[in-house]
Amino acid sequence: MSFAVSIKRRVRAGIPPLIFLALAGYFAWNATRGDRGLVAQQQDRLDLQAAQVQLAHANQDVAQWQNRIQGIGGRTLDLDALDGQARSMLNLVDPADRVVMMGNGTPANGLPAADPGSVTAPVPMQPTTAGQ
């Protein structure tokens, strides 16, 4: 009986340290890997840096748009410049405009350039078969 009693005493004496070690292990794990642990804090720092970069890009975009909006304000709006910009973006020409071709003297079709002082009719473009 004394052997069994000594085993029971040792087991009873070992239970509180085991519980303490289990609690210490639980808190240590949460301190490093938990929701608010060291790893989570490092990830939060990386997320914050990425968000700050996105914020900087967004602020640059806002500044660009504000400059564009200020450029088309009622007092500073140049209608001729606006018309010219719209025509160049849409690749259109006003029928009343005169087009002066400038370059090396050879147009894209390979024919010699006409005299700059003369006005010639535009040459119709040939259909392309590149997409077929």
Q: 110-129: per-residue pLDDT in tens?
A: 555 555 555 555 555 556 55
Distant-in-sequence, close-in-space partners of 26: CB < 8 Å, separation ≥ 6: none
Between residues 66 and 78, the one the model is more confident about? 66
Domain membership of residue 65 (yes or no) is: yes
3-49 confidence digits (pLDDT tens): 888 888 988 999 999 999 999 999 999 999 988 889 999 999 999 99
Helix axes 38-71 and 2-33, enclosed angle (nearest 10): 10
Number of domains in the chain: 1
Identify the pLDDT of residue 34. 86
Which domain covers residue 85, as residue numbers? 51-94
